[in-house]
């Protein structure tokens, strides 16, 4: 997953979703040797998860069970950049990095003065304190999409999201892993009774758009993902897992607090516990995929 799996919003490493999952599974199955690897990374979409799993996780850790918790980042990119370069499996941040690197390369590398400044800031506490004192407050982020994203873009984003999970599930089978994917909760009014603070966080983020388009577009992505995932036996929509919990569960506009993490972990365990009790790593036959599932 992305930053929620990585641990943003949690009060400590022990309160992250992977750590809580490991603790609970060890408690339920003391006879087994259980280790949960946290492979979450801020900003990741399903496409990046696929390549991280194929390129590193599968062969370095050889997991018996693979769990994905994601969805929001995939919908976020489409909702925020629909008419501004968005395409399937595209990460805006990579284009920004490439642009910065190209500028540096055209100038022949970093200047000596820039190197001195970087060294002072890294090694001099006084220099760092002075810079911190005089630095002006950074402007809040804004996103280019300022009108409602086209429906076909949100539908394509949901399709690409699920296609990557289909590939992840198939590759997991080839490496002897059982695979589960979970569509994570987001701040939708029909998925949770938002507290005043949670509503304030939601509205504050919507103000980054000229029109109230972001949350409606993200919800549309979720609806398409839910509809299109109906025939995938490994995919579970748990976006409504907070529905009956009125207390605050969001740390900010997208990350959960410790209480939210615990609720998500309990829901995941309801699904995977039977496989953990058995041999979760049994090699499975290839899953039959509908002809139009992948494009």
- Per-residue pLDDT of 191-241, as tens digits, reads 999 999 999 999 999 999 989 999 999 999 999 999 999 999 999 999 999
Q: Is the pLDDT of residue 291 over 90?
A: no
Token pair for 120: 């002072």
Q: What are phi and psi of 179, to 5 degrees?
A: -120, 135
**Which has the higher per-residue pLDDT, 21 or 128?**
21
d(CA 241, CA 260): 9
What pTM does this model have? 0.85
Q: Is the pLDDT of residue 150 over 70?
A: yes
Lowest mean pLDDT among 54-63, 86-95, 106-115, 131-140: 131-140
Give the pLDDT confidence score for residue 139 in this predicted structure.
43
For residues 76 and 149, is the Cβ–Cβ distance under 8 A? no
CA angle, residues 107, 109, 110, in degrees to nearest 5: 105
E strand or H helix that includes residue 70: strand 65-70
Largest CA distance in the chain: 63
Q: Is the pLDDT of residue 256 over 90?
A: yes
Q: Which residue from 169, 172, 168 is spatially nearest to 62, judged by alpha carbons?
A: 172
d(CA 30, CA 25): 8
Q: Which residue from 213, 229, 226 is spatially nearest to 149, judged by alpha carbons?
A: 213
E strand or H helix that includes residue 167: helix 151-174
Residue found by looking up tokens 């395409």 in the block:
87
Q: What are phi and psi of 68, to 5 degrees?
A: -110, 135
Give the pLDDT confidence score for residue 141 in this predicted structure.
55
State how far the alpha carbon of 90 is from the alpha carbons of 21, 81, 105, 128, 267, in Å. Answer: 30, 10, 23, 35, 30
Give the pLDDT confidence score for residue 287 in this predicted structure.
57
């Amino acid at each position: 997953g992305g930053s929620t799996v990585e641990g943003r919003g949690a009060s400590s490493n022990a309160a992250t979703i992977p750590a809580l999952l490991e603790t609970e599974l060890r408690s339920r199955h003391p006879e087994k040797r259980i280790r949960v690897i946290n492979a979450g990374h801020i900003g990741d979409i399903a496409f990046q998860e696929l390549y991280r799993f194929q390129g590193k996780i599968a062969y370095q850790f050889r997991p018996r069970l693979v769990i994905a918790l994601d969805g929001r980042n995939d919908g976020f990119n489409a909702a925020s950049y629909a008419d501004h370069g968005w395409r399937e499996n595209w990460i805006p941040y990579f284009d920004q990095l490439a642009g910065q690197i190209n500028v540096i390369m055209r100038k022949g590398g970093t200047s000596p003065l820039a190197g001195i400044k970087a060294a002072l800031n890294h090694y001099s506490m006084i220099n760092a304190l002075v810079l911190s004192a005089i630095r002006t407050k950074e402007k809040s982020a804004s996103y280019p999409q300022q009108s409602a994203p086209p429906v076909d873009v949100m539908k394509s984003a949901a399709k690409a999201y699920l296609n990557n999970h289909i590939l992840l599930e198939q590759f997991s089978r080839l490496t002897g892993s059982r695979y589960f994917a979970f569509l994570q909760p987001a701040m939708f009014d029909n998925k949770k009774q938002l507290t005043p603070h949670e509503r304030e966080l939601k509205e504050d983020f919507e103000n980054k758009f000229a029109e109230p388009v972001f949350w409606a577009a993200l919800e549309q992505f979720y609806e398409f993902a839910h509809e299109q995932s109906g025939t995938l036996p490994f995919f579970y929509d748990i976006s409504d897992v907070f529905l009956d919990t009125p207390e605050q569960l969001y740390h900010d506009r997208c990350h959960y607090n410790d209480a939210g993490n615990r609720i998500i972990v309990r829901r995941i365990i309801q699904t995977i516990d039977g496989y953990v009790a058995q041999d979760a790593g049994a090699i499975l036959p290839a899953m039959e995929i509908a002809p139009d599932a992948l494009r």
